[in-house]
Chains A and B, each alone.
Chain A
Amino acid sequence: MQRLTRASGWGEAMRVPAILRNSSLVLGAVITLFIVFCALFAPYIATYGVNEMDMRNRFAGPSLQHWLGTDNFGRDLWSRLVFGARVSLSVGLISVGGAALIGTTVGLVAGYLRGWVDLLLMRITDIFLGFPAIVLALALIAVLGPGIFNISLALIAVFWTEYARVVRSTTLVLREQNYVQAAQALGASPLRIIFREILPNALGPIIVLASLGLGTAIIAESALSFLGFGLPPPTPTWGWTLAYGTRFIRDEPWLSIISGATIMITVLGFNLFGDGLRDILDPRQLTRSAGKK
């Protein structure tokens, strides 16, 4: 731990570099911010319109005119991927946010209260877990119909169980800590203990799950689009571009390769960002000076 020896002499003002020295956080943040930036300012970043066709340049390879080439209708791939970030991010954020919220609440309540509440909530979780994820999502979309919100809803139904189980097991450990007992001894209500004592200490795994979940949700949305259950064309989704590109993969492989790589890099970025966040959110990392442990 080279950092430990160095940190002892570092003053308050030098904290920012300490955060910047976390390389996975920095790399993850750069990728994440870039994707978010693309999604927010898509119309300014895209070099062509989403559905603008350049029939003379169909299946064009990457060039100065079309940075990442064009598809079978001569639509600019770069522009479509930039607009696609909006779809992927919306689905990712809504589904991860919803799943984390529901799952964490269920996990905290089940883990802290134990007894029949725990039993009931965990059996409900098991029921959801019993369905194969993709089948459950497909069934829900078949009922609800396509659309960003409905797809997110289907993904929430698939993903919340993971949060519930992880948070419950973390809660089971934390509720036995002396500081929780101390709060009980002070007369704190269960709600106060759950939110003030347990939740802050359970955040680490939740953040990691959420960042991994963002990646998984983007992949799941792509998979649904790939299977034809996603947003209907001509919506520029990454998954659909990847799936459609496979039709021409022998002659024009970059369509699938580039859209696949986009998904991969985005997921990687979220994962790195989540890893880094977990590290710096631990107060022991922020102020490592007189700490004994």
Chain B
Amino acid sequence: MADDPLLSVEDLEVHFPIRSGVLQRQVGVVKAVDGISFSIGRQETLSLVGESGCGKSTTGLALMGLIKPTGGRVRFEGQEIKSFSRPALKAYRRRMQIVFQDPFSSLNPRQRVRDAIRSALDIHQVGSRKQREDEVAQFMERVGLRPDQANNFPHQFSGGQRQRIGIARALALKPDIIVCDEPVSALDVSVQAQILNLLSDLQQELGVSFLFISHDLGVVEHISQRVAVMYLGKIVEIADKTSIFSEAIHPYTEMLLASEPTLDPRKRHTFSASYDDVPSAINKPTGCPFHTRCPLSTDQCRRDEPPLSSRQDGRLVACHHR
């Protein structure tokens, strides 16, 4: 068991049927997540990057069992989470938690902070009431909130503070892995840094792993060890952070990196891929999903979908030409 990664995902698939008409007949399918595989080790941060609508968040929600995957397997410490049944999920949820993007809608406006954090402990009946109260205070302190703010309502906090509350709630069950769904993209840049540092510190201290979902490459570079690039429900490249940021192999990764604004005015965009709209996940392009925008695309790309294949030092890339 020791060799098993903490979490491994095989061919995860989330398809949403599109129904219409009186009879609610299925007229199509949105392939939000279309067969992706990756794994996360202990105390590791894997980032999932990609444009809006590529299925990053859906992946996170599916791993949490908040959306039922339509296919694939999720293993936790080598054990398959069987069909996401209710008792299996409840046990698994003590080990895996989520922090949401929007610090405003992620907290119940009518719940005091104390109750929000304690609800995790209440649901799983951890310790006595007194112990739970103590733990709430500890976690609040740990994420940088004053325990005497426990009786306040969420609206009395700033965005950054609310995100800290969300993190404390996710931490309360001492999970092994936390899905961070764009945890800082709704925050000011200065506050972003604070939250990112908090997450790094917590990882050092508690040995927790993160699946870090983001579209902000600067943030990703700061926090992750490995990066998976997603495009239209597929992973097109997975590699160590340093190799991805020093040399992208997949043309889409290259485009993402090139599109990031730089502070150096002499550096211009050098990449020639079109910045057109992403094709829809309902009518996906045949072959390689990226061929409609790729400068390297050939007939082969339009015909065959490139598999995710291994390159030097364990990188995985899905491209016919590189």
The residues of A with any CB-CB pair to B shorter than 8 Å are 177-179, 181-189, 192, 196-197, 200-201, 283-284, 287, 289-293
- Per-residue interface assignment for chain B, residues 161 to 192, with 1 indicating a CB less than 8 Å from any chain A CB and 0 otherwise: 00000100100010000000000000000000
In the complex the two chains form, is B155's CB within 8 Å of A178's CB? no
Interface pair A185/B105, CB less than 8 Å apart: no
Taking CB atoms, residues of chain B closer than 8 Å to A187 are 89-90, 93-94, 123-124
CA distance A284 to B109 in the complex (A): 8
A283 and B153 in contact, given A181-B61, A187-B93, A187-B94 (Cβ under 8 angstroms): yes
Is there contact, CB below 8 Å, between B110 and A182?
no
Residues facing A in B192-207 (CB within 8 A) are: none
A138 to B43, CA, bound (A): 70
Measured as residues with beta carbon below 8 angstroms from the partner, the interface class of chain B is 35 or more
In the bound complex, how far is the Cα of B107 from the Cα of A287, in angstroms?
A: 17
> Which of A178, A186, A188, A289 is in CB contact (< 8 Å) with B100?
A178
Partner of A292, one of B61, B90, B110, B158: B158
B158 touches A181 (CB 8 A): no
Most chain A CB atoms below 10 A, which of B89, B108, B120, B166: B108
Chain B residue at smallest Cβ distance from A177: B105
In the complex, which residues 52-103 of chain B have their Cβ closer than 8 Å to any Cβ of chain A?
A: 61, 64-66, 89-90, 93-94, 97-98, 100-102
Asked whether, in the complex, the Cβ of B107 is within 8 Å of the Cβ of A179, the reply is yes
- Interface pair B123/A192, CB less than 8 Å apart: yes
CB-contact partner of B104 in A182, A289, A290, A293, under 8 A: A293
Nearest Cβ in chain B — how far from A185, in angstroms? 5
| Interface presence of B157 (CB below 8 A) | yes
Cβ–Cβ contact B119 & A196, under 8 A:
yes
Cα distance, A189 to B65, chains bound together (Å): 14
**Judging by beta carbons under 8 Å apart, are B66 and A181 in contact?**
yes
Residue ID in chain B nearest A281 by CB atoms: B110
Are A289 and B156 also in contact (CB < 8 A) when A179-B106, A179-B108, A182-B166 are?
yes
B100 (CB) vs chain A CBs: closest residue? A178
Q: Are A185 and B108 closer than 8 Å at their CB atoms?
A: no
Does more than half of chain A's interface fall in helix, strand or loop, or is it mixed? helix
| Minimum CB–CB distance for B56 against chain A, Å | 16
Interface membership of B243, Cβ < 8 A: no
Instruction: Say whether B131 faces chain A, with CB atoms less than 8 Å apart.
Output: no
Interface positions of B (Cβ within 8 A of A) = 61, 64-66, 89-90, 93-94, 97-98, 100-102, 104-111, 116, 119-120, 123-124, 152-153, 155-159, 166, 169, 173
Q: Can you list 23 residue pairs at the A/B interface with Cβ under 8 Å?
A: A177-B105, A178-B105, A178-B106, A179-B105, A179-B106, A179-B111, A182-B100, A182-B106, A182-B169, A183-B119, A185-B65, A185-B93, A186-B93, A187-B90, A187-B94, A188-B119, A188-B123, A196-B108, A196-B119, A284-B109, A287-B155, A291-B156, A292-B158
Residues of A within 8 A of B120 (CB): 186
Which residues of A have CB within 8 Å of B94?
187
| Extra 10 A-B pairs, beta carbons < 8 Å, given A178-B101, A179-B107, A187-B124 | A177-B105, A177-B108, A178-B105, A185-B93, A185-B98, A187-B94, A188-B119, A200-B111, A290-B158, A292-B157
Query: Which residues of chain B come closer than 8 Å to A197, judged between CB atoms?
Result: 108, 111
The reply to whether B158 and A185 contact each other, CB–CB distance below 8 Å, is no
Shortest distance from the beta carbon of B164 to any chain A beta carbon, whole Å: 14
Docked complex Cα distance between A201 and B153 (Å): 13
Complex CA gap A187/B166 in Å reads 16
With the chains together, A189 CA to B173 CA distance in Å? 16
Q: Give Cα distance in the complex from A284 to B66, angstroms.
A: 29
Contact partners of B89 in chain A: CB under 8 A: 187
Does A290 lie within 8 Å of B100, measured CB to CB? Answer: no
